[in-house]
Amino acid sequence: MVCEKIISAMNPSEPNIFVARQPIFKRNKEVFAYELLFRSGLTNYFDPLQDGEEATSKVITNSFLLIGIASITEGKKAFINFSEEMLLKGYPSLFSKEITVVEVLETVGATPEVVAACGKLVEAGYVLALDDFLYEDRFVPLIKLARIIKF
């Protein structure tokens, strides 16, 4: 995976604020959106020892509150990974459905509770995307809700 850009907030009181953005293209090679990814520094990799939920929390905080989502996405949609717990707690609904694409990680189970939480988001107008998807019958309820499936 190649990230187009690692963005850092230029704030002396918060010197270590980073977010990577990976472009997601339309078929005509025009940028449709950016997937926002946690980075702990200028190196372009995700530390596998980093807690995924903490990483998502930092991406959200850094993108929306510290750097500014508009400067990161340049008006495009933002794909943000949400863990099972975050989905169940309704965290995606705290962000604008006009800019946020709710990305369901491959580690999230297709439990009735997750399907119900995702269904509420879709009913509210959010776009649901399945990340790093490998087909299994148990994912059919989520497939029916998703508008985007990333392989």
What is the per-residue pLDDT across 37-76, written as a single tens digit (0 to 9) for each? 877 666 655 556 667 677 777 777 777 777 788 888 999 9
**Global pTM?**
0.81
Q: Under a CB-based contact definition with an 8 Å cutoff, are residues 16 and 61 in contact?
A: no
Buried-exposed string 52-63: b where 16+ CB fall within 10 A, e elsewhere: beebbebbbebb
- Residue ranges of the domains in the chain? 5-149
Separation CA 111–CA 125 (nearest Å):
21
Question: If you count them, how many residues does the chain have?
Answer: 151
- Distance, in Å, from the CA atom of 140 to the CA atom of 136, rounded to the nearest integer, reads 8
pLDDT tens-place string over residues 92-101: 999 999 999 9
For the cut 50, the answer to whether the pLDDT of residue 2 exceeds it is: no
Segment 134-143 mean pLDDT: 94
Within 8 A by CB and 6+ apart from 7, the residues are 18, 19, 20, 21, 67, 71, 72
- What Cα–Cα distance (Å) separates residue 21 from each residue in 11, 31, 74, 103, 124? 19, 12, 11, 14, 26
Percent of the chain with pLDDT over 90: 55
- Give tens-digit pLDDT for 15-45: 566 788 899 999 999 999 999 887 766 665 5
Q: Are 78 and 63 in contact (CB under 8 A)?
A: yes
> 5-149 falls under which CATH superfamily?
EAL domain (3.20.20.450)
Report, as an integer, the average pLDDT of 110-130. Answer: 98
